[in-house]
Amino acid sequence: MTTTPTLAERKRQLVADELAQAALELLAQKGFDAVTVDEIAAAAGVSKRTFFRYFASKEDVIVRLLAEMGADMRAELAARPPEEPPSVALRHAVSVSVTSCTGHAEQALQVVRLILGTPALHARFLERQAQWREELATELAARTGQPVGLHPRLAAGTALAAFDVILQQWSTGTQDPAELTARAFAAIAPALDAC
Per domain, the residue ranges of the chain are 1-55, 58-192
Q: Average of pLDDT values for 91-95?
A: 93
Contact assessment for residue 163 and residue 180, using Cβ atoms and an 8 Å cutoff? no
pLDDT digits (tens, 9 = 90+) for 107-125: 778 888 888 888 988 998 8
Per-residue confidence (pLDDT) for residue 152, from 0 to 100:
93
Distances (CA, A) of 103 to 89, 97, 118, 121: 21, 10, 23, 22
Q: At what angle do helices 7-30 and 105-117 cross, to 10 degrees?
A: 70
**One-character DSSP codes across 56-117:** SSHHHHHHHHHHHHHHHHHHHHHHS-TTS-HHHHHHHHHHHHHHHHHHTHHHHHHHHHHHHH
Q: Is the pLDDT assigned to residue 171 strictly greater than 60?
A: yes
Question: From CA 70, how far away is CA 78, in angstroms rounded?
Answer: 12
pTM of the entire predicted model: 0.83
Tell me what pLDDT residue 103 has: 56
37, with CB counted inside 10 A (0-12, 13-18, 19+), is middle
C-alpha dihedral, 121 to 122 to 127 to 131, nearest 10°: 100
Are the C-beta atoms of 132 and 74 separated by less than 8 Å?
Answer: yes
CATH superfamily entry for domain 58-192: Tetracycline Repressor, domain 2 (1.10.357.10)
CATH match of 1-55 with 1.10.10.60: yes
Most confident of 10-19, 25-34, 144-153, 154-163: 154-163
**pLDDT (tens digit, 9 = 90+) per residue, 59-75?**
888 888 888 888 999 99
Q: How many whole angstroms separate alpha carbon 145 and alpha carbon 2?
A: 27
Supply the pLDDT for residue 195: 63
Q: 3-state DSSP call for residue 187?
A: helix
Distance CA 194, CA 138 (A): 18
Render pLDDT for 128-152 as a digit per residue (tens, 0 to 9): 899 999 999 999 999 888 899 999 9
pLDDT band with cut points at 50, 70 and 90 for residue 104: low
Q: Given this model, what pLDDT does residue 65 score?
A: 81
